[in-house]
Structure 1
Amino acid sequence: MKHYVGLDVSLKETAICVVDENGVVIREGKTFSEPEAIVAWLNESGLPLAKVGIEIGGLARWLYGELRAAGLHAVCIDPRRLRGVTRTMPIKTDRNDARAIAQVMRVGWYTVVHIKGDVSQELRMLLNNRKTLLIKQIDIENEIRGVLRVFGLKLSGRISQVTFEQQTNELTDGHPRLAAMLRPMLVARAALREQYGVLHKMVLEIVRREPTCQRLMTIPGVGALTAITFLTTIDDPDRFQRSRDVGAHLGLTPRKYASG
């Protein structure tokens, strides 16, 4: 008889439920959210496990790889379809969520989430970190502009990243208290800009070494950032049966089917 496992993963503990092919709960409990602890808990049952379901989340990608390496048929599933099951529960707990995941693994009512390779995930983190530093830098600049505007001081015209601090200091030259308040903001902005440059340089170095990015950049209008973003988004081209599926995956649908 086949058995199916549902894992509801949280930061410290993971709720586990094992059901048979008839939907009967055979064993359930909790263990630490570590691959070794989960594998040991499952091995204690001595049951043949057909599939192990994990709802995609913060630790899911890491656990998925480790469970696969341990010989378990782990599957990451889309939480949106799972919500249709858990929404009917009178009480939502980790235990009940694990039961729901085990049941959908049994009946096959789930959507598999593609887990990207380590290289693609590292590139995605690099792009996200770069974007975060850039957004924080822009937030500080907008805050400084707003503070200056309150006192009638305007950073008007097109101001480059290099001259932003210089022009701010010139405007606050006759306002020592205001200049003292803005100095920490300018220092923080300079630090963000410096570290953003470090990450941006890493992106450009990767693009120079990546032949796929170089090929994509031969397309008019495609630069380094677009090329590497497309590369890490697609990850494995073989997971798309047809080339037109890529557009739908990226949310680019024909106008007559668009929602807005």
Structure 2
Amino acid sequence: MNYYGGLDVSVKETSVCILDETGMVCRELKVPSHPEDLLKVLKDPALPLERIGLEAGPLSQWLFSGLAEAGLPVICIETRHAKAFLKAQVNKTDRNDARGIAQMMRVNLFRPVHVKTLTSQKRRMLLTARKLVQEKAIAIENDMRGLLRNFGLKVGVVGTVGFDARIRELVEGMADLAGIMVPLLAARQKLRDTFTALHRQLLSVVRDDEVCRRLMTIPGVGPVTSLAFTSTIDVPARFKNSKAVGPALGLTPRLNQSGESNCVGRISLCGDAMMRTLLYEAAQSLLTRVRKWSWLKAWAMNVAKRRGLQKAIVALARRLSVIMHRMWRDGTEFRWTRQDTPVAA
């Protein structure tokens, strides 16, 4: 007889449910959320498991790796799909969620999620830490602007380098304000130094990665975008074709069709928000800052004439994702003229 397992993971404990092929509950319990504790339950020879499901979440990558390395048939399932399935339950509890996930495994009604490799996870961690420190530094700068504006002191347009000198100039001769601004400037400088150190680490990783260097031959694509793309896609072969990358990153319109109604909405915004933002910025840079002409920029300019600049940037961001994936798989560099490029987006 085949058995199916469901795991409802929380920070401290995981609810485990094991069903047989008829749907009867064979075992239910709670164990600490650690691979070793789960293995003691799931590797019971009396209950050979056909499939084990757990919902994608903060601990899912760690638990998935530990269970998969032990040879268990674990599957990470898509969060929205699991939520829609479990929503049919009257009472939402950890026990019921584990039962629902086990039922999804039993009836084979689930959508698996790709679990990234350890290298991609570490690169994503670097990107997230860099972005976090940058946002905190910008938040302190904006708050300082707002605080000084209450006293009629306007910072004005000033770059990152000249910000410190400008603040000190404004509070010169005001000991009370300077006593507040100077510690904030010290905290901002510490964040800026940390950001610089993390950015240098990022550049070092990109410098040693042949795929990232090749993706940077695309106009508008820099080291941050290229590293984020490789860490997000992780394994390019998991997409059946390059055109499937756009929908996975939420860059295609949402459709709502029912009978005679067929509504085409805005882009779906599903998938990785950081990657989608970086692709948008790369597309915007290509259209507004890159001066060298290319077939890709010409295509985007034609879209802008027909549909407007904003829609052209979104369309170009989607096409950039397709091109980057194709270049990664083919091992080619960007072709500036359309006659020479093998990419068909």
TM-score calculated relative to the size of structure 2: 0.73
Matched AA of 2:80: R
Name the residue aligned to 1:83.
83
CA distance in 1, matches of 2:156, 2:12: 51
Pairing 1:193–2:199 present: no
2:173 aligns with: 174
Greater alpha carbon shift after TM alignment, 42-51 vs 61-70: 42-51
Q: Match for residue 136 of structure 1? A: 136
Q: What is the DSSP-based 3-state SS (H/G/I as helix, E as strand, rest coil) of the residue aligned with 1:199?
A: helix
For 2:265 and 2:127, the matched residues in 1 are separated by 29
Q: Distance in 1 between matches of 2:110 and 2:183?
A: 51
* Corresponding letter in the other structure for 1:2: N
CA distance in 1, matches of 2:47, 2:69: 19
| Equivalence for 1:184 | 183
Partner of 1:46: 46
- 1:73 equivalent to 2:44? Answer no
- Mapped partners of 1:184, 1:212: distance in 2: 43
The whole-number CA distance in structure 2 between the counterparts of 1:254 and 1:54 is 29
Q: Identity of aligned pairs, percent?
A: 47
- Segment drifting more, 45-54 vs 230-239: 45-54
The equivalent residue for 1:164 is 163
Distance 2:42 2:95 in 1: 16
Partners in 1 of 2:186 and 2:147 — Cα distance? Answer: 16
Q: CA deviation at 1:255?
A: 9.2
- Which residue does the alignment assign to 2:334? none
Measured after TM superposition, the shift of residue 96 of structure 1 is 0.7
Quote the offset at 1:236 in angstroms.
0.2
List per-residue Cα deviations over 1:125-144 (Å, max 9, x = no partner).
10000000000000000000
Q: Is the Cα contact below 8 Å between 2:5 and 2:51 reproduced in 1? A: yes
1:16 counterpart residue number: 16
- Distance in 2 between the 1:248 and 1:91 partners? 34
Q: Find out whether 1:94 has 2:103 as its counterpart.
A: no
Secondary structure at the residue paired with 2:43?
helix
Q: Which runs of 5+ in 2 are unaligned?
A: 256-262, 267-345
Rounded to whole Å, the distance in 2 between the matches of 1:41 and 1:199 is: 41
Give the aligned partner of residue 259 of structure 1: 265
**1:30-56 superposed Cα distances (whole Å, 9 cap, x missing partner):** 111111111101234621100110111
Partner of 1:206: 205
Write the deviation string for residues 156-199 of structure 1: whole angstroms up to 9, x where unpaired.
13x12111111101100121111111222111101100000010
1:88 Cα deviation (Å)?
A: 2.4
> Deviation string for 1:12-36 (max 9, x for gaps)?
1111000011111111101111111
Give the letter for the 1:259 counterpart. Answer: G
Measure the CA separation in 1 of the matches of 2:254 and 2:28. Answer: 48
Counterpart contact for 2:253–2:265, Cα < 8 Å = no
CA distance in 2, matches of 1:202, 1:182: 30
What are the equivalent positions in structure 2 for 1:214-233 lying under 5 Å apart?
214-233=213-232
- How many Å separate the matches in 1 of 2:40 and 2:159? 58
* Matches of 1:146 and 1:79, distance apart in 2: 40
CA–CA distance in structure 2, aligned partners of residues 224 and 84 of structure 1: 38
For 1:60, the aligned partner's letter is: S
Q: CA deviation at 1:251?
A: 1.7
Higher RCO by CA contacts (8 Å cutoff, separation 6 or greater): 1
CA-CA distance at 1:89 after TM superposition: 2.0
Q: Structure 1 stretches of 5 or more lacking a match?
A: none
RMSD: 1.5
Partner of 2:64, secondary structure, is helix
1:237 aligns with 2:236: yes
3-state SS of paired residue (1:259):
strand
Show CA shifts across 1:207-246 (max 9, x none). 1110001111111121111111111111101101111111
Distance 1:248 1:147 in 2: 43
Alpha carbons of 1:88 and 1:254: their partners in 2 closer, same or farther (altered >3 Å)? closer
Conservation of the 8 A alpha-carbon contact between 2:4 and 2:105: yes
Indicate how the Cα distance of structure 1 residues 144 and 202 shifts in structure 2: closer, same or farther if over 3 A, else same.
Answer: same
